[in-house]
Amino acid sequence: MRVVFVHGACVKDGAWWWGPTAALLQEHGVSSVTPSLPSCGEGGIPGGHDGPGLMDDVASVREELLASDEPTIVVGHSYGGIVIAEAAAGIPSVRHLVLISSYLPEIGQSLSDFGGDNGPAPFLDASVETGTFTVRPDLLAETFLQDCDADIQEEATNHLALQSLRVTGEPVSVAAWHTVPSTYIVCADDRGTPAASQRQFALRADTVVDIATGHHPFLSRPTAVRDVLLGLAADLDT
């Protein structure tokens, strides 16, 4: 059994974000990997109008999923749920999807379909001129990491990324959650994606788990995320 972690929008260095949870899983013999998302500049090409988009992210994650026949749980955080909806489709080794404060898009939906009608959220800095968007560093901790240790809050700013704005409007052509069992983790104290919104998104999932955390429980309460994943792994082994 292995876990493939897919991070959310406007960040880079997935191994840092998922590190605490990955280390706890490794203690139980469960390996994990964190594919890069090119739209966040992780493939060496900067985000922007002509930069990588959603399908580049999908291709990166799908390549990792196809690299092993080992039974796999795919975890998508926030925007990562859009990516894994397409990337995990039709791959026999993928046994379960886990969505953390995330989206389960229907075929033809994009990230913009889950936003409000009042333009970009106040914690985002979007530039039509450069074709990129990111999280405002001054609002990162209070919006997304309020329940994390101060050192994590400080370090997180070094792992923000300018992401291609085009990903917000690019739709998926397949929805893996139609055929792969799914679990949605609601982050009940999330200030970025309110719990009420998450529960609406979670209506498409098979199982819903509530955790009293902010937007990044794999940093603030990694043991809780580990326990969910170990429980799923145990069920898949029986």
Helices 14-26 and 222-237: crossing angle, nearest 10°? Answer: 60
**Residues 139/143/144/148 CA torsion (nearest 10 deg):** 90
User: What's the chain's average pLDDT?
Assistant: 96
Domains of the chain: 2-237 (3.40.50.1820)
pLDDT in tens, 165-204: 999 999 999 999 999 999 999 999 999 999 999 999 999 9
pLDDT of residue 119: 63
Confidence of residue 237 (pLDDT cuts 50, 70, 90): confident
pLDDT in tens, 75-117: 999 999 999 999 999 999 999 999 999 999 999 999 999 976 5
Q: Specify whether the CB–CB gap between 176 and 29 falls below 8 A.
A: no
User: Which single residue is written with the structure tokens 């059994």?
Assistant: 1
- Does pLDDT of 62 surpass 90? yes
Q: Specify whether the CB–CB gap between 185 and 32 falls below 8 A.
A: no
Q: Mean pLDDT across the stretch 54-80?
A: 98
**Cβ atoms within 10 Å, residue 2:** 17
